[in-house]
Chain A
Amino acid sequence: MRVHVDPSKCQGHNRCYALAPELFDVDDLGNAFELNDGVVPAGLEDKARLALANCPEFAISIEE
């Protein structure tokens, strides 16, 4: 599984970073990006889906 934050949609709500800090980080402006090229380590798939389901801007996508 891979996750991706679309930087043109992310507005820095920081929901993904709060819910899944293993998968996402934020820059100095507070905008999010995926860690590890978006590769989701085994066992963290639910956290990736949770982050997607909580992004107000629909900025996160998942490739299964």
Chain B
Amino acid sequence: MSETVYGPVTDWATDFDHGSPAYAANQHKIWDDLKSSGCPIAHTDRYGGTWLPLTHEMVHEIAYDTDHFSSEGPVVGQLKPSEVPDRIGAPIGPVPPISSDPPFHAEARRLLLPAFAPKMIDPWREEVVAICNELIDNMGTADHIDAALQYSQHIPVMVIARMLGLPVEDGDKFRGWVNLVLSGIGEERTEARMAQFEEFNAYLAFHVNDHIENPRDDLISFLLNAEIFGEKLSLEHTVGTVILLLIAGIDTTWSGIGSSLWHLAGNSVDRRRLVENPDMIPAAVEEFLRAYAPVTMARVVKEDMEFHGVEMKKEDWVLLPFPAANRDDNQFADAHIVQIDREANRHAAFGLGIHRCLGSNLARLEMNVAIEVFLKRFPDFSLDSSEVVTWSTGQVRGPRALPFVINARA
């Protein structure tokens, strides 16, 4: 992985870059060093000016304060929302409802909530179990596997593609676009990159049109029939929501599954406990979500303001590092220790406030099943020390190469 267009970081308090490989590799230490040096909120001029608050209290406060912080730009980019050509601005934003502000947000979100409520998601369990088992069957008898490339990255793609009504076999394309949109935030805006965006838009236009001509029982057809404020959704709204559901549901859960398996490969005591007591898996998943929360969101400052002693300017980016909030000692006892049987765990892995991750029930189901099946089939595995684990850059963090040695199979 290469440096961003802004070059190597010189100082994490005043010049941080959350898109850099160094941040992806060392973020827990970076936050600790910043906080212990008396800097609970870091700043950078990169991306046109960005803030990084690190305490649970600040992250909670910003997530709740929709009067001062807009969701118009949930992912930090090199262009400010107002600089993006043909962009749908607040309160709708380009990918509703994650990019929407009140009062529009509540209506756009209410449309989608029933499809992702527990009673609609729980019936997918058998399907996810079958997907996970099939992925392991496909590994054959190899002793060396890559749990990211051969396992975690496929699980969420196969489910969300089916829910949306997109071809499951296009998984490689989806992952390419996910990398484009999320991991490549700090890369040069080359013509090749722009062409990839064009290709993504053309793909979506084709499939949405196909659903207009051939309606079926899936989420794209549902969106095409849905109404907001008594009218059909605009085509931009529909396409934006399809982009959101496709992108947001893929590398987030892929990261969550990967980080959990990475922990278990390196911690044999925890792995053995879960193999012997599978009923502990749900609590362990919550602890993995706390300790290795994949997602950081972003907000845009609406007007110049003061926040905890710093001067924020209109259109500054503000990151919401839920993973850092989850490691705040003022909120969690022994926040730096991973305790798979932790009882009090009000972690913020799925966000806080009105933008709570819409797909959290699906993500939890996929994580639980993925770990359950993996441990059942591979009761003993460890990191392959001859290969390197790599982590994604940007606002979603998880292992992208996860070389394992399989020591026992069942």
Contact = CB atoms under 8 A, between A and B. Distances in A.
B110 A29 contact: yes
Given A14-B360, A57-B352, A26 B118 contact: yes
Contacts of B344: 50, 53-54
A28 B361 CA distance: 13
B345 A54 contact: yes
Contacts, number: 56
Contacts of B110: 29
B249 to A, nearest CB: 16
Interface of B: 110, 113-114, 116-119, 282, 286, 343-348, 350, 352-354, 356, 360-361
A56 interface: yes
Given A11-B354, A13-B360, A14-B361, A30 B118 contact: yes
Given A13-B360, A14-B360, A56 B352 contact: yes
Contacts of A14: 118, 360-361
Interface in A7-46: 11-15, 17-18, 26-30
Interface residues of A, number: 19
Contacts of B347: 56
Interface of A: 11-15, 17-18, 26-30, 50, 53-58
Q: What 3 A-B pairs have minimum CB-CB distances, sorted nearest first?
A: A30-B117, A53-B344, A11-B356
A18 B282 contact: yes
B350 A28 contact: no
B356 A28 contact: no
Contacts of B350: 13, 56
Contacts of B119: 26, 28
Contacts of B286: 54
A19 B177 CA distance: 36
A54 B343 CA distance: 8
B313 to A, nearest CB: 29
Nearest to B360: A13
A50 B356 contact: no
Contacts of A30: 113-114, 116-118, 361
Given A29-B110, A54-B346, A56-B347, 20 more contacts: A11-B352, A11-B356, A13-B356, A13-B360, A14-B360, A15-B346, A17-B118, A26-B118, A28-B114, A28-B119, A29-B114, A30-B114, A53-B343, A53-B344, A53-B345, A54-B286, A54-B345, A56-B346, A56-B352, A57-B352
28 contacts: A11-B352, A11-B354, A12-B113, A12-B356, A13-B360, A14-B118, A14-B361, A17-B118, A26-B118, A26-B119, A27-B117, A28-B113, A28-B117, A29-B110, A29-B114, A30-B113, A30-B114, A30-B118, A30-B361, A53-B343, A53-B346, A54-B286, A54-B345, A55-B346, A56-B346, A56-B347, A56-B348, A58-B346
Contact of B343 (A50, A55, A56, A58): A50
Q: Which of A15, A30, A55 has the most CB of B within 10 A?
A: A30
Contacts of A56: 346-348, 350, 352, 356
A53 B126 CA distance: 30
B196 to A, nearest CB: 34
A29 B117 contact: yes
A40 B119 CA distance: 24
Nearest to B347: A56
Contacts of A54: 286, 344-346
A13 B350 CA distance: 8
B97 to A, nearest CB: 13
Give the residue among B118, B282, B344, B348 with the most A Cβ atoms within 10 A: B118
Contacts of A53: 343-346
A58 to B, nearest CB: 7
